[in-house]
């Protein structure tokens, strides 16, 4: 009887042990099968911080895919660069060629010989995704569409984009015309540097031809998502639904790119999902704005004795929410600054550190130029100094 009781006790103990083991095995398996923090139906996607370029989420970010009208971000980038250099002016009149007027797809139905200002053409590209306006601007800047496409590919190479190649400035289906989510994020990030791009990209509606032709921005997030102020949509049967967009909240500007979204409106839904993820989990810590005065530096042998030192770009870092403690800035200036000094000349650096670790480094530059003083002026300074000492 005692043996039976002992045997039953051992069996029960073993069974209980197995149950305990099974109970603890559950969480371990769940941990292995744990889903990623964010899922997207886009074939490729990326989310990053505008100022630092820090990537917060990516999926197939380097995969080469068709991009449809998101192509026009590069078209607008080159146009904005040309305007910034003074090569083209906002009120320049652009005359539509027969070739430009013959573009299909999204358009403003240009007639050969029809004229619009450069600014109106840019609005038509950004707001109405107009293929005919894109080609007209390309021809105006480069002389021909082919020459402009070469400029597009040269710019892609300059930006280090290894997974991008352009065949046209519109995004109409063509062989050897592709990009990646990561590359397109770089293009949008570059375009955002230009006030003209931000202006035209943020227009939601516009009256063309004295109100006879209404343009509505294809980027509906300008109305649907708080903080969204720039971007470009795209769709073809090959590329599916695409969107590159930017939004800013509480000094945190995000860039999102989604390519190959399967259904109508999913490019908006997936972009909102990415933006919500970024704004919920991260925060920007801004130590200084772009061109903010940081110090006054002494200048030797110059027409003036000192100069304002400003930041070359915004000094900010992105950290997980709640991780903004103990972030500090360290300023280091050039030991001796001798005239002549050029405006924008690097004269120091602003380093952001946390717990002794460097997070970011930004150049400090001269806010204005300082000419070298003449020998007579230098002699006068010496005399004034001697006089002051003997006073």
| d(C-alpha 220, C-alpha 200), whole Å | 14
Nearest to 129 by CA among 69, 177, 173, 187: 69
Alpha helices per DSSP H over 159-218: 181-191, 195-201
Q: Is-catalytic flag, 256?
A: no
In the chain, beta strands by DSSP E = 44-49, 55-59, 93-95, 115-117, 205-208, 213-216, 228-236, 240-249, 252-261, 282-288, 293-298, 306-311, 315-320, 327-333, 346-354, 357-366
Under a CB-based contact definition with an 8 Å cutoff, are residues 199 and 191 in contact? Answer: no
Please state, in angstroms and rounded to a whole number, the distance separating the CA atoms of residues 153 and 135: 16
Q: How many C-beta neighbours within 10 Å does residue 199 have?
A: 17
Tokens 């597009």 correspond to 152
Please list the residues that pair with 320 across neighbouring strands. Answer: 282
**End-to-end alpha-carbon separation of the chain, Å?**
118
Q: Is 69 among the catalytic positions?
A: yes
Which has the closest alpha carbon to 293: 241, 367, 188?
Answer: 367
Tokens linked to 89: 């002016």
DSSP tag of 92:
-
- 312 vs 309: CA distance, rounded Å: 9
Spot the catalytic one: 59, 69, 97, 180: 69
Question: Cβ-count burial of 259 within 10 angstroms (0-12 exposed, 13-18 middle, 19+ buried)?
Answer: buried
Catalytic residue from among 129, 134, 201, 246: 129
The residues annotated with a catalytic role in the active site are 69, 72, 129
């Amino acid at each position: 009887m005692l043996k039976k009781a002992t045997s039953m006790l051992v069996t029960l103990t073993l069974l209980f042990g197995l149950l305990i083991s099974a109970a603890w095995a559950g969480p371990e398996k769940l941990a292995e099968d744990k889903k990623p923090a964010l899922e997207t139906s886009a074939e490729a996607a990326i989310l990053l911080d505008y100022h630092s370029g820090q990537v917060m989420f990516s999926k197939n970010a380097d995969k080469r895919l068709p991009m449809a009208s998101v192509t026009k971000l590069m078209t607008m980038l080159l146009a904005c660069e040309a305007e910034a250099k003074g090569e083209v002016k906002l009120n320049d009149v652009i005359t539509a060629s027969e070739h430009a007027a013959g573009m299909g797809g999204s358009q403003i139905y240009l007639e050969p010989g029809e004229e619009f200002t450069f600014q109106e053409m840019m609005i038509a590209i950004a707001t109405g995704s107009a293929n005919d306006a894109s080609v007209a601007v390309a021809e105006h800047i480069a002389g021909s569409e082919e020459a402009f496409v070469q400029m597009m590919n040269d710019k892609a190479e300059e930006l280090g984009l290894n997974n991008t190649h352009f065949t046209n400035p519109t995004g109409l289906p063509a062989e050897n015309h592709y990009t990646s989510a990561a590359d397109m994020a770089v293009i949008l990030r570059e375009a955002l540097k230009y006030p003209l791009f931000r202006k035209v990209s943020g227009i939601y509606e516009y009256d063309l031809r004295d109100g006879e032709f209404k343009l509505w921005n294809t980027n509906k997030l300008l109305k649907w998502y708080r903080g969204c102020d720039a971007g470009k949509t795209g769709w073809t049967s090959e590329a599916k639904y695409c969107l590159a967009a930017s939004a800013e909240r509480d000094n945190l500007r995000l860039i999102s790119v989604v390519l190959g979204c399967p259904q109508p409106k999913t490019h908006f839904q997936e972009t909102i999902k990415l933006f919500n993820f970024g704004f919920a989990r991260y925060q920007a810590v801004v130590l200084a704005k772009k061109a903010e005065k940081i110090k006054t530096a002494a200048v030797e042998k110059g027409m003036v004795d000192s100069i304002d030192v400003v930041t070359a770009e915004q000094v900010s870092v992105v950290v997980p929410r709640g991780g903004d403690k103990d972030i500090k800035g360290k300023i280091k200036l050039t030991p001796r600054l001798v005239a002549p000094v050029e405006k924008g000349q690097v004269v120091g650096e602003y380093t952001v550190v946390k717990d002794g670790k460097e997070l970011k480094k930004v150049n400090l530059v001269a806010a204005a130029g300082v000419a070298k003083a003449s020998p007579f002026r230098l002699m006068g300074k010496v005399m004034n100094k001697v006089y002051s000492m003997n006073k």
